[in-house]
Amino acid sequence: METITGISEANDGSGRFLISVDGRELGLLSAGALSELGLRGGDALDARSSDALRDAVATQAVFDKAVELLRARQRSTRELQRRLVQKGAGRMHVVAAIDRLVALGYLDDAAYAESIVQSQLVEGGSSRRRVQQDLLKRGVERAVVADAIQRAVDENGSDEAATALDLARGRLRTMRSLEAEARRRRLYGFLTRRGYDPDVIASVMRALRSEISSTGEDGPDDPAQ
């Protein structure tokens, strides 16, 4: 039968406790998890309590890794799940960690979708279609994506053609040193990369025909992004 031979607070400032069993370090646990298990130093572990302790330590490690990943950048639930599994986490431990993160409010796909929509659609000038594709690729559910986009459209306007025109006109100002054909090609590519429909792009190119064809003045070259 195994014995808990040490419970000491970790010196990394995490508030975790390092658990040792039979003189070997097993892993870290939060004070809450340790309290739930009801274990103390010197306790003997039967097979059931040993399995429960090891499972709690594994779940804690996955949870801490998930928090670390979220601190680096926001992620959707599915993105985080995939990343944790890629790092070797067991699926049951991933599910437990994800459920805890959601309960604590650290993981919220609706808020995540709104953040992406704000940065890409409202501020970045990408098309609704492109933003939708990006969020679906990131694993956000279609209904959540649709709600986030609709709220942004309601708050900021729904005329995508006008948005594309304003965006293109601003980009055209950075192309003054280019020949007309180069401007036309880069502007078309610029709008395509932001996911606008061919019909919208065609209407923008027609509206800016004279500006595209006008004699250029010296100015900063377009970064072609």
30: exposed, middle or buried (Cβ count in 10 Å: 0-12, 13-18, 19+): middle
pLDDT averaged per 10 residues, the chain (length 225): 93 89 94 90 92 94 95 95 94 94 95 95 90 95 96 85 89 89 92 91 92 62 47
C-alpha dihedral, 23 to 24 to 26 to 27, nearest 10°: 90
Question: What is the architecture of the domain spanning 2-104?
Answer: Orthogonal Bundle (1.10)
Q: Phi/psi at 18 (nearest 5 deg)?
A: -85, 125
Residue 185: its pLDDT value, please? Answer: 92
pLDDT at 215: 55
**3 state SS of 220:** coil
3-class secondary-structure state, position 101: helix
* Domain spans in the chain, listed from the N-terminal domain onward: 2-104, 109-156, 160-213
Closest C-alpha among 11, 27, 30, 31 to residue 19: 27
Strand order in the sheet with 24-29: 24-29, 17-21, 2-9, 44-45
Find the helix or strand (DSSP H, E) in which 60 lies: helix 47-72
